[in-house]
Amino acid sequence: MTKETLTLKEFLGQLREVIELSYPLQYRITAEIARINIHYQSGHCFLDLVEKEDESVVAKASGVIWKSRIDEILKRFREVVGQELKEGMKVLLLTEVRFHEIYGLRLNIVDIDPSYTLGEFALSRKKVLSQLEKEGLLTKNKQIPFPLVPQRIAVISSETSAGYEDFLNTLHNNPYGYKFSIKLFPAYMQGEQAEGSILSAMDRARNVAKNYDILVIIRGGGDNVDLHCFDSYNIGKAVACFPLPVISGIGHTRDETVVDIVAYKKEISPTATGQFVIGAVRNFEERLDGLSNRVISVSSTILAEQQRQVKETGSHLNIFTDFFLHKAEQNFTRTVVDFKTNVSKCIASRGFFIDRMPDNLASALRIYVKAQINFLEKQEDKVALMHPVS
């Protein structure tokens, strides 16, 4: 042990020299951003960097992006990743190791590789999709029958979003004059509050889902930034389990988010979303027109066939009527002749009795008169015996 006594400043100064000599180069380091803050006065960006194992922090360091580099680094990151640099992101940093007697060990961040973060997002998205598929939710919303006429629309968006205005203008100014009933469930669509705000809006919409035909999620206007919340497991699950078909119109052209994949339909912009809804109503109207034309055509065919059959039946009826009348007349004539013949035969067969009828009647009358005379004579004799002449 040396007996030399050093002041704190002297000791830390020596330590700085050792570190700078031992680590003179630039080093590529991967880490997660635990906190990020751009100092409004100096313009420098300060970060807390961590490494985690099983959600526990196993390493921690401070980093800084100097004002002279910050605009270039953040602009390129935003253009490639499609999001602002923020907490929770995993990043690949090009750093220089610096030690300061007052501020301690710090990593000067010279550059950030945005492709690494993009790959981490893709990996995270893949894990979320795998979990949703494992739970049987990946295609759940797509299996809901789509309404024939989607005119009652629940919308989740920012009230001041340019994308929401585009959606409204597209629907209200449609060339067919269709009317739509639209209810906004406002939410933050970007930033740290976005996930919780969107989930809350979805809960409110779910409670009154019976009043609507579809749910539309719109985020639009400006650059394609802050889409990270649409890759979250919680929002993905909420969309998959929503009781109405969900149309995603969050307005981007990059890789599909989890919401895009699990939703019933994905559109690239709020305007395209509105056009899809109009197209669905138009498709129903065209089908209805086609069905109406088909009914008219089939009815006309049936009517023509019935008219032909009636006409044909009428012709046959005239022929059959003449035939049956002639036949009936022949039968009647034959019946009259047969009747006369039969009557003549009957009269002829009974003529003997008719010829002898006067003689028979005269003989019977003589017998009857004689019998009555005899009866009266007998009665007269009885009266004489009872009253003899005095």
Q: Is residue 137 domain-shared with residue 280, that is, in the same domain?
A: yes
Residue 358 vs residues 353, 354, 371: alpha-carbon distances, Å: 10, 8, 20
Is the pLDDT at 381 greater than 90? The verdict is: no
pLDDT in tens, 17-32: 999 899 999 999 999 9
Confirm whether 108 is domain-assigned.
Answer: yes
Q: Domain boundary residue among 54, 89, 123?
A: 123
Confirm whether 232 is domain-assigned.
Answer: yes
Confirm whether 256 is domain-assigned.
Answer: yes
Q: CA 116, CA 136: separation in Å to the nearest integer?
A: 30
Q: Is residue 131 domain-shared with residue 279, that is, in the same domain?
A: yes
Helix, strand and coil content of the chain, in percent to the nearest 5, comes to 55, 20, 25
CB–CB of 357/351 below 8 Å?
no
Residue 259: which of 237, 283, 226, 281 has the closest Cα? 237
Is the pLDDT at 326 greater than 70? The verdict is: no
Confidence of residue 302 (pLDDT cuts 50, 70, 90): confident
Q: CA dihedral defined by 313, 316, 318, 320, rounded to 10 degrees?
A: -130
Q: Is residue 173 domain-shared with residue 98, that is, in the same domain?
A: no
Domain total in the chain: 2
Q: Is residue 75 domain-shared with residue 142, that is, in the same domain?
A: no
Q: Is residue 131 domain-shared with residue 99, that is, in the same domain?
A: no
Q: Is residue 272 domain-shared with residue 253, that is, in the same domain?
A: yes
- Where is pLDDT greater, at 132 or 299? 132
pLDDT for position 222? 47
Q: What is the mean pLDDT of residues 54-67?
A: 92
pLDDT for position 23? 92
Q: Is residue 147 domain-shared with residue 252, that is, in the same domain?
A: yes
Return the SS3 of 232.
Answer: coil
Q: Which two tokens stand for residue 240?
A: 């998959």
Q: Which two tokens stand for residue 179?
A: 């009317």
Q: Which two tokens stand for residue 170?
A: 């597209």
Q: Domain boundary residue among 68, 89, 123?
A: 123
Confirm whether 264 is domain-assigned.
Answer: yes
Is the pLDDT at 152 greater than 90? The verdict is: yes
Confirm whether 362 is domain-assigned.
Answer: no
The vertex-339 CA angle with 338 and 344, nearest 5°, equals 100
Q: Is residue 94 domain-shared with residue 194, that is, in the same domain?
A: no
Q: CA 77, CA 90: separation in Å to the nearest integer?
A: 13
Q: CA 165, CA 100: separation in Å to the nearest integer?
A: 52
pLDDT for position 283? 93
- Where is pLDDT greater, at 384 or 179? 179
Q: Is residue 262 domain-shared with residue 227, that is, in the same domain?
A: yes
Q: CA 171, CA 180: separation in Å to the nearest integer?
A: 7
Is the pLDDT at 218 greater than 70? The verdict is: yes
Confidence of residue 338 (pLDDT cuts 50, 70, 90): low
Q: Is residue 135 domain-shared with residue 245, that is, in the same domain?
A: yes
Q: Domain boundary residue among 66, 97, 123?
A: 123
Q: What is the DSSP string of 175-192?
A: TT----EEEEEE---SST
How many C-beta neighbours within 10 Å does residue 197 have? 19
- Where is pLDDT greater, at 344 or 172? 172
Q: What is the mean pLDDT of the chain?
A: 83
DSSP H helices, 135-175, are 162-172
Place of tokens 């119109």: 249
Least confident of 266-275, 301-310, 336-345: 336-345
Q: Is residue 245 domain-shared with residue 119, that is, in the same domain?
A: no
Confirm whether 199 is domain-assigned.
Answer: yes
pLDDT for position 354? 41
> Phi/psi of residue 389, each to 5°?
-70, 125
> Phi/psi of residue 321, each to 5°?
-65, -50
Is the pLDDT at 346 greater than 90? The verdict is: no
Q: CA 99, CA 60: separation in Å to the nearest integer?
A: 15
Q: What is the mean pLDDT of residues 144-151?
A: 95
pLDDT for position 55? 80
Residue 247: which of 206, 276, 225 has the closest Cα? 276
Q: Is residue 37 domain-shared with residue 168, that is, in the same domain?
A: no
pLDDT for position 348? 43
The vertex-103 CA angle with 12 and 43, nearest 5°, equals 150
Confirm whether 386 is domain-assigned.
Answer: no
CB–CB of 137/240 below 8 Å?
yes
Question: Which CATH number goes with the domain that contains 198?
Answer: 3.40.50.10550
**Domain housing 158:** 127-284
Q: CA 157, CA 198: separation in Å to the nearest integer?
A: 8
What radius of gyration, in Å, describes the C-alpha atoms of the chain?
A: 56
Confirm whether 330 is domain-assigned.
Answer: no
Residue type at 177?
G
Buried b (16+ CB within 10 A) or exposed e, 325-343: eeeeeeeeeeeeeeeeeee
- Angle at which helix 194-207 crosses helix 233-240, to 10 degrees, equals 20
The vertex-266 CA angle with 191 and 252, nearest 5°, equals 45
